[in-house]
Structure 1
Amino acid sequence: MRKKIAAGNWKMNNTPEASVALVADLKNLAEKEGIGNATVILCTPFPYLLPLKNVLGNSPIQLGAQDCSAHDWGAYTGEVSAAMLKSMDIPYVII
């Protein structure tokens, strides 16, 4: 059987506070209703990743980044490298 993945791209929406409230509600719903054998991934703006990771804790909902740089490091203003995401324990990214 194929693995089921449901991933949502957050785009450039919500404030940090509204995002935390929404993800807390999603976490509670996932814990109450379950998500079966699916992998559920929320791909949020980079500044929201750590606050939302703290909200999710050991929830079955996973986080992903919306983008990642083709460069490992360097003078690339605004870019986020795969190594940065890995150091934050963010396992998914939209490429």
Structure 2
Amino acid sequence: MKEYFNNIYLALSTIFIGMSVTFKHLFVPAVTIQYPSVKPQLPTRERNRLYVNMDDCIGCLQCARACPVNCIEIETVKKIPDEDLGLTSNGKK
């Protein structure tokens, strides 16, 4: 009988510990923004540049879609099975 109540106590105490962590972070304001829905406020005369490291390019065409003046054009080519394409900028295949 003592073990039964001890198990109940342990269950409730671990739930309390977990929920205290959850409630601690519940009222902290969010750090990130949900980009497509919420856009950041930029200064009125802000000029930005798009940059693509071609070693990391996978041909998804997202940079071409994001370009405001349509100056990026990408031609994708399928990889030949025996061809080694090398490493990305961070050393991964």
* Smaller-chain TM-score bracket: under 0.3
Bigger relative contact order, structure 1 or 2, given CA contacts below 8 A and separation 6+? 1
Of Structure 1 and Structure 2, the greater helix share is in 1
Name which one, 1 or 2, has greater alpha-carbon Rg: 2
Q: TM-score, normalised by structure 1?
A: 0.21
TM-score, structure 2 as length reference: 0.21
As a proportion of its length, which structure holds more strand? Answer: 1
